[in-house]
Every structure is written in C-alpha cells, then in structure tokens.
Amino acid sequence: MTVLVWFRRDLRLSDNPALQAALATGEAIVPVYVHDNNEAGDWRPGGASRWWLHGSLSALDADLRQRSDAGGLVLRSGRAEAVIPALAAETGARTVVWNRRYEPWAVARDGALKAALRADGLEARSFNGALLAEPAKFFNKTGGPYQVFTPFWRALRAAARPPAFAPAPDRLEIAGGVAGEALDDWALRPTRPDWAGGLREAWTPGEAGAAARLAAFTQKAVFAYADTRNVPGVTGTSRLSPHLHFGEVGPWQVWRAALAAGESMHGDPLQRGVETFLSEVGWREFSAHLLYHFPTLPNAALKPEFDRMPWQDDAAGLAAWQAGRTGYPIVDAGMRELWATGWMHNRVRMIVASFLIKDLMVDWRRGEAWFWDTLVDADLASNSASWQWVAGSGADAAPYFRVFNPVSQGQTFDPEGTYVKRWVPELARMPKALIHAPWTATTAQLDAAGVRLGRDYPRPLVDHAEARQRALAAYAEVRGKDAAAT
C-alpha cells in the first residue's frame, strides 16, 4: 500500500502537514507534482514564476532522493482531476493527501477532486500548510470577512498559536518504479533569449535557499526592520516572498524564527523590528483571505465605483514604464530592478504603482499583469490586493487622493541616491541633491555628470503636479465629490 503526497505550493519537507500525515500512516509515499498550464486560466504562472518553479522542483527532487534509494519527485502533466486518480490507481494508493491552496479555481477543483476520490473509496485529506489561519473560519465580530487590515491583524496576532515544528525526515520510504516526466521537457526556463541571468545571480530557489535567507535575516536585519524596510538602498527586508509563495518555507516557520530572534538577541520576542516584520507576514495573510472571500479581486475593483475610472489607453506610457524609461529616477530604478532580478523593493512597488495608475492614468490591471509576468514572487492574492490598495479601489485601501510624488519619495527613502545609482547607472555622477529630479539641473551640472537629457536619460513623461491634478479630478468624478479639495 502507498500514500500519494500531492505537492503544490508547499515545495518543502519540513513543517509540511500533508507530508507528516502521509508518514504517520507508515506506508510508502509517492510524492507527485502535477503541472497543468491551464488550471489558472488567465492567471497561469508568468515567465519569472516558471523560472523559479523549475529551480524549486529540482531542489525538492534532490532533497527527496537524498533521503531515499527508491526515487524522487514524480512529475506528471495534465489536469489534476484526471492525473491524481489515475496515479492513485497505478500505484495502489488508498490515501491521497495535499496542502490546500486558496485561489478560487483551486478551491473549486480541490473540492470536486476530494469528493470524486472519496466516491471511489479512497481517503482524501487536505491540510493548511500555507496560512496562519483558515479563511473559511476566520471572521470579524459580525461574522463576515475582514476588509480592514488593522482589526484583522489584531485578531490574528491575538489568536496566533504556532504549532510544534515538524522537521524534515532523515529518511523516506518512497515507492519505487513510478514513471515520471522530465522537468526539462516542461520548458519552464527561458532559452533564447535567456533573460534569467540576473535571476540566477540573485536567487537560490528551494528549501535550503529559503532556510539560508531566513537565517540571515533573523540574525541581524529583522531588528532594524521597522526603520530600514522603506529604504531600498540597503538590505533591510527579508526577501522571503518568493520562498513563501512556493512554500519552500511555511509562515509558521517564519513566525517562530522571528520571535526566537527577538527573544535570543534582545530578551524580547515583541521587539519592535520583529513585530513590524510579523505585521508584513500578516499583510500576506490578509491578502490571501481577501482573495478567498472575494474571488473577483484580480479582475474587478472591490469597490465597484472605481471600475468607472476614465483610464487612458497610453501604450507608449505603459511601455516606457515597463522599460524603466519614465524620466523619474526612483520609478525607473524600480522597474529595472524588477526586470533584472524578478523582484522589487516593497516601498518602490508602491511608488511605481502609483505612478502608473495616477500619473499616467493607466488601468491598475495593466500593472498587475506586468508584475504577474515579471515577479518571482508573483502571488495572485498579494499582487491583486496590493495593486487595488494603491488604486484606492480595494480593501483597507490607501485614500484614493494619495498620489505618491516620485521626487519626494526618492528624496525621502533614497536620500543618497544609492538605489538609483545602482539601477540607473547613467545618473551615477549626478549630485544627490539633483539625482531624483535631473531635469532641474543646469546645463553645467548635467555636463559635469555626463548626462544629456533626452539622449542618455529621458525627460519626464509627465509633469507630476499636472498629472496629480488630472488624477484627482478623475477620482472626484468617480466618487461624486471634490477629491482635490480633500
């Protein structure tokens, strides 16, 4: 007898509830990953996500083989509704286990699959390996889903009870002789052109890479997180988001590690940096709960009136934004970091999103789609909730009349121009007083910095002050009030 362990967004061996349940049966396991290009419809993984998935699956297979002489991860492609029952019959499995996903199509598919397996006489069990609380059981005082982060976070923080850590097993009994497909045949990595060089340099997909990054962050950076998380020119954030998205580390592992760091270094698990960091883990959780309760979140404004916004069909502006050629250095630095590494600092994500939505008046869904294709941590819940937050149309949204000024944001959070100089090297010789607004420099200052506006670096696509007024007028029309006077 065997137990089928269906890996999905839980590509790890430690703290994996489904794997632990399978091992508790004492039967040999069949670890499987099913690749279905069509399961998510329009939200199938983008290029950067596919690159990461290849590395993560390869790492998981190696981790399994290190613990067994019989085999590793079985790869199958197709519709999970057909692949999983067929593989169970092929291997004689009487039990199928997996960790839950919370995207709308996954919820529907998994429910139908569980019912079908049970109808065939198999035991089908699912577990929570991705979140701190089950969205279907976590409600506000009126019995509805939370739509404001602060009360959500207070309730989650008060209810948090980390379960005991389940380490990765030293040995695994894996059923041998189960044929699988070759990972390379799935063509998840780019070939020509190979645009992934920066991703390879920046990241190590897999459980070991996640553990190393978590350890490095909790040894030092977490304690200053409250002060440095908004400064893109320093290593002040955890960069755990892609590892969490692919389940190479679980949220409880991150939670325990952060609290333990505060206790060991400061004798205070509630140390300010630790608490601020945990609240960001809470925002990830909040986003997942929103998507679960509001499945149209990626495509439609949570506040319907915002779908009446008079968006501009600005193909040239969108292309300049995507390429990091807007003429606003902090925006361009962020977009170039994204293209090079598949990641962008969170403060800068807010700045570039505000610029696209409110300076260029381009529909937030166009930015969401670009991030979806280019981010290694492209998570449907976090991506859609965050874009709607900036647009003012989502839950707990920033006030719609808040329009980030890309110049003052750069001056505040990158005062030395460190971040801009790294990602916009043509401005490296600009003095820090001018680097966030090079068009204000004199001809002599531009000459001294070796910058010719319009050739070496573009002039601004729009005048921010004018663009801000245009955005406020549009929002006021949609909201039926004078937003500009707010």
- The catalytic position among 6, 51, 364, 370 is 364
Is 405 labeled as catalytic in the residue annotation? no
| Cis amide linkage into residue 145, ω under 30° from 0 | no
- Whether 361 and 310 have beta carbons less than 8 Å apart is answered as yes
- Residue 452 CB contacts under 8 Å (≥ 6 apart), including other chains: 446
- Name residue 286's amino acid: F
- Whether 297 and 306 have beta carbons less than 8 Å apart is answered as no
Is 311 labeled as catalytic in the residue annotation? yes
- Name residue 383's amino acid: N
- The catalytic position among 275, 311, 426, 477 is 311
Is 252 labeled as catalytic in the residue annotation? no
Residue 378 three-state SS: coil
Is 339 labeled as catalytic in the residue annotation? no
Is 283 labeled as catalytic in the residue annotation? yes
- Whether 21 and 127 have beta carbons less than 8 Å apart is answered as yes
Residue 304 backbone phi and psi in degrees, to 5: -55, -30
Integer Cα distance of 213 and 383 in angstroms: 22
Query: Cα–Cα distances in Å, from 197 out to 48, 192, 200, 206?
Result: 11, 12, 5, 18
For residue 184, give both structure tokens: 């390379």
Is 6 labeled as catalytic in the residue annotation? no
Q: How many CB atoms lie within 10 A of CB 462?
A: 18
- The catalytic position among 186, 195, 346, 426 is 346
Burial 173-197 (b: 16+ CB within 10 A, else e): bbbeebebeebeebebbeeeeeebe
Report DSSP state, residue 160: -
- The catalytic position among 181, 280, 426, 477 is 280
The total number of residues written for the chain in this structure: 486
- Name residue 194's amino acid: D
Residues known to be catalytic: 280, 283, 311, 346, 364, 387
